Amino acid sequence: MSLGGTVREGEKPSELYERMGQLALDNGCLIIAAAGNDSNRSFGFIAPVASPANAATIMAVGAVDPNFEPAYFSCGGLNPNGGEVDLVAPGVGVFSTSPAPQLYRTMSGTSMACPHAAGIAALWAESDPTLRGAELWRALKENARPLEHPVRDVGSGLIIAPAPAAATNIV
């Protein structure tokens, strides 16, 4: 989900989002949401992870720049019990689709990082039919590329695609 609402420091996640995220996990689905763009790290301000990504049952994805530095706008894991960043993905200068008449443009935001994460999650799920819901979440976090930044900013690290399956020769 590339959407979100501002959350204040100390604010608890929505019980509705918590329940919906848990229902999805219980049924083998993983909801991934953008962590939010409310920070201004240039001035030392880090905002809490936005809603619905601040729900403990929804995976929060922050953004990094091409140098794997936390994006200046990416929210951080300031609130406990779900308000953490779980993973990060590229979110600065991403070439993407755009409404007509432009059709394509370069954009930045955790809403650009979130589709990267969702696509890689789909690759992981395709690579192993047992990777669903919470098991998929675990695999994504355990296989993330660690980054030399506080967990508050990058969670487990940069989400990475699964290793390709062994090539087979089809005759």
What φ, ψ does residue 70 adopt, rounded to 5°?
-55, 135
b/e sequence 137-149, b meaning 16+ C-beta within 10 Å: bebbeebbeebeb
b/e sequence 53-70, b meaning 16+ C-beta within 10 Å: bbbbbbbbbbbbeeeebb
Going from the N-terminus, what domains does the chain have, and what CATH number goes with each?
15-152 (3.40.50.200)
Could you read off the pLDDT of 53-102 as tens digits, one per residue?
999 999 999 999 999 999 999 999 999 888 999 999 999 999 999 999 99
pLDDT at position 161 is 92
Q: Are 5 and 23 in contact (CB under 8 A)?
A: no
Tokens 């809603």 belong to residue: 51
Q: Are 63 and 89 in contact (CB under 8 A)?
A: yes
